[in-house]
Structure 1
Amino acid sequence: MNLGIGEFYSLSCALVWAIAVVLFKKAGESLSPFALNLFKNTLAASLLGLTVLFVSPAVPALPPLSLLLILLSGWLGICLGDSYYLRALNQIGASRMAVAQTLYSPFVIGLSALFLGEHLRGPQWLGASLVLLGVVLVTWSRDPTRSAIDTRSLRVGTAIGVLSVLLMAVGIVIAKPMLALHDFLWVVWLRLIGGLIGMALIVAWRRNGPAVIAEFRSVRHWPQVIAGSVAGSYLSMLLWLAGYKYTNASVSAVLNETAAVFIVLFAVLFLHERVRPRQYAGIALAMLGVALVVLR
C-alpha cells in the first residue's frame, strides 16, 4: 500500500492519540472523566475556532440538515463517546483499553454497510470475530487473588469501553458524508461545538456546575491535562478526520488501530502497566482481525 497523504494523517493520528491516552491516564487521577472531557473539548474548540478564523474565515452555507447531522455526530462521538472512553480508561487501564479500541474499525465498516451502502464480505466478518476474541483474551482473568469486586469492575469497565468505541464509530459514519460535502475545518469545529452543547445540557440537567468548577480548582496535573487536551482533542481530531477525508474509510480505520500498539508500548514504558503474554496474544489476534476486516 502506498503511503499517501491520507494514510500519513491516519498513522500520525494513531501516534498522537496514544500519547494523549497516556497523558489522560495521569490527568484522570485528579479529574473525573466528564470534567476532563469538558475541559479538553473546550480548549480544543477554542484552538479550532482560532484556526478557522485564520485559515477559513468565510462562513459556509450549510443546509439545516447538514448542520444537524454534524452537531449530532459531535454529541454522540465527543460528548458521550469520549466521556465513556475516559471513564473506561480509568477503570481498566491503558493497555486493555487499547485492545477494546480495536473494535472501532469493525464498527465503522459494519455501520458503513448499513447506512452508507458499503458491502462486507466473509473475511471481514471473520476479522470482526477475531477482534472480539482478542478483547476477551486481554480482559478475561482467572487470577484467584482478584476479588469479585475487581472482576465485576473489569467487566463493567470493558463494557463501557466497547460502548464508547461504538459511539465514536456512529459519530464518524454520520460525519463522513459531511466531510466530503462541506469545508473540512468548519465540519471539525462544528462537530466539537455539538459535543460541547451536549455536555452543557448535561451540566444544566444535573445542576452540578459548581461541583465541576471545584474539580478544576483541585487539579494536581495541569501540564498533563493541557498537553493531553491539545494532543487528544485538537491535533488528533484534525489528523483523524483528515485521514477519512483523503483516503478510503477502511484504510483509515485500520491505520487508526495501530494506536493500540503505541498505547501498549507507552503504557509499559511510562505507566509501568504489566502486560501478560495472554494480552500480547489478544493484541496480535485483534490486529489480525483488523487486517481481515479491511481486506478488499
Structure 2
Amino acid sequence: MSRMGLGELLSLLSAAVWAVGVILYRQLGATLPPLQLNLLKNSLVLGMVLVSLPLVHGFALPDFSASQLGLALLSGFIGIAIADTLYFRALNQLGAGRMGVLGNFYSPAVILLSVVFLDERLSVVQMIGFGLVSLGVYLVAERRPDDAGGGRALLKGLAIGFCAILLMAVAIVLVKRTLEAQPLMWVTAVRMTGAVVGLWVLALVFRRRLGPALPPLAGVPWRKLLIAAFVGQFLSMVFWLGGYKFTSASVAAILNESASVFILLLAWAWLKEPLSRRALAGVALTVAGVSCMLLPA
C-alpha cells in the first residue's frame, strides 16, 4: 500500500505553489511586458537566495572551477533570462491552462537530451509516453473562439512555449554536473546572477524592440509581484528539492507533473479560462505520458 510521506507531500506542494505562481504571473503579464516582469521577478528572487545563503551554508565560500562557474552562469542566462521571458510571452498568448499542460514537455525534453548527450536509451514504453504527451498537448492546443489573431497566432504562441520549455531543459542538463559537485544554494545564486545580468544585457541590446528594461516603478504591483516571486519560484524550488531529497526521483518527478492539473483548475476558477472535456483529456494523457517517460529505460 502506498503512503504519503514527507517527500511525496513536498513534491505535491511544489506543484501547487508553482501553479499559484503561474496564475499570478498571468495576471502580472496584463500590465508588465515579459522582459520587465522577468527582470523584476528574478531580481527579487536573487535577493531571497542571497539572504538564504548564510542560513543554509554558513559563511564558507565554495570552490568553483572556471568551467563550473561558467556553466552555472550560462545555465541561468539560457534557462531563466531567455526561457522565462519566452515563457511569459507564451503565457500571455496561450493562457495559463494551455501553458500548464505544455510544461509537461519539460521532463520528456530532459530525458531526450540525456539520450543525445549522455548516451542513454529510451525503452518502448518511454517512446509511447512521448507520444502520449504530444497527443495530450495537441488536445489542449484546440483553438477557442476567444483566441486573438486566429490559428497563426495560436501556433506562434505554441512555438514560443515549446522553445521556452526546451531551453529550460537544456539549461538544467548544462548545470547538472556542477549541481552534483557544489553546494546547491551557491549554484542557485550563481545561476540567478547569470539570469539577472543576462536580462540587463538583453534589455540593452534589444532596447528599441523590447522597450525599457524597467517600467515606472510607482506603477508596479509590488505586492503581487513579491508574492509571485516568493511563492512561484523561491518556495516552489525549495519544495521541489525537498521532494527529491525525501522520496525517489521518479515518484517526485511524476508528482511534480500534477502542476498541469493545478494550473488548469486554477485558471478555470481564478482567471475564468475555459475548461473543456478535451482539455481535461489532454491533461490525463500528458500525465500518463510523463509517467511512462520516467520509467527506467
User: Under a length normalisation based on structure 2, what TM-score does the superposition of the two structures give?
Assistant: 0.90
Structure 1 residue aligned with 2:33:
32
Q: Which moved more, 1:43-52 or 1:252-261?
A: 252-261
Letter in 1 for 2:223: P
Question: Partner residue of 2:264?
Answer: 264
- Unpaired segments ≥5 residues, structure 2: none
Q: How far apart are residue 154 of structure 1 and its match?
A: 1.3
Residue 134 in 1 paired to residue 155 in 2?
no
Residue pair 2:83, 2:167 contacting (<8 A) in 1 also = yes
Percent of counterpart pairs with the same letter? 41
Letter of the structure 1 residue corresponding to residue 128 of structure 2: L
* Secondary structure of the corresponding residue to residue 215 of structure 2: helix
Q: CA deviation at 1:223?
A: 2.2
Q: Kindly indicate whether the alpha-carbon contact (under 8 Å) linking 2:81 and 2:196 is maintained by their aligned counterparts in 1.
A: yes
Q: Confirm or deny: 8 A CA contact 1:82 1:164 kept in the other structure.
A: yes
Partner Cα separation in structure 2 for residue 246 and residue 75 of structure 1: 30
1:121-146 deviation digits (Å, cap 9, x = unpaired): 111011011101111111133x6x56
Measure how far apart 1:214 and its partner are. Answer: 3.1
Letter in 2 for 1:87: R
Separation of aligned partners in 2, 1:269 and 1:84: 25
Cα deviation code 1:73-111 (max 9, x no counterpart)? 111110111111111111010111111111111001111
Q: Report if the CA contact (8 A) 1:5-1:246 is conserved.
A: yes
Note the C-alpha offset of 1:269.
1.3
Aligned residues between the structures: 293
- Of 240-249 and 12-21, more deviation after overlay is shown by 240-249
What does 1:221-236 align with in structure 2 at a 5 Å threshold? 221-236=221-236
Aligned-partner residue type, residue 182 of structure 2: H
Q: Distance in 1 between matches of 2:249 and 2:173?
A: 9
Unaligned runs of 5+ in 1: none
Q: Which shifted more, 233-242 or 154-163?
A: 233-242
Structure 2: distance between partners of 1:63 and 1:3: 40
Alpha-carbon separation, structure 2, partners of 1:148 and 1:82:
22
Q: 1:224 to 1:237 in 2, by over 3 A?
A: same
Matches within 5 A, 1:1-296: 6-56=7-57, 57-141=59-143, 149-207=149-207, 211-219=212-220, 221-243=221-243, 249-296=249-296
Q: Aligned equivalents of 1:186 and 1:3: distance in 2?
A: 31
Q: Deviations over 1:211-242 (max 9, x none)?
A: 233354433x3322221111123222333345
- Tell me how large the CA RMSD over aligned residues is: 2.3
When residues 55 and 216 of structure 1 are mapped into structure 2, their CA distance, relative to the original with a 3 A threshold, is: same
2: CA distance, partners of 1:167 / 1:226: 25
Distance 1:247 1:193 in 2: 30
Moved more, 273-282 or 8-17: 8-17
Q: Is the 8 A contact 1:25 1:90 kept in 2?
A: yes
Could you tell me which amino acid in structure 2 is paired with residue 90 of structure 1? N
Supply the distance in 1 between the matched residues of 2:176 and 2:245 (Cα, whole angstroms): 7
Distance in 2, matches of 1:3 and 1:173, equals 29
Q: C-alpha displacement at 1:32, in angstroms?
A: 0.6
Distance in 1, matches of 2:197 and 2:188, equals 14
Which AA in structure 2 matches 1:64?
Answer: A
Once residues 69 and 82 of structure 2 are traced to their aligned partners in structure 1, the CA distance between those partners, rounded to angstroms, is 19
TM-score (structure 1 length as normaliser): 0.90
1:1-58 per-residue CA deviation (whole Å, 9 max, x = no partner) reads 6666554443322111001011111111110111111011000001110111333221
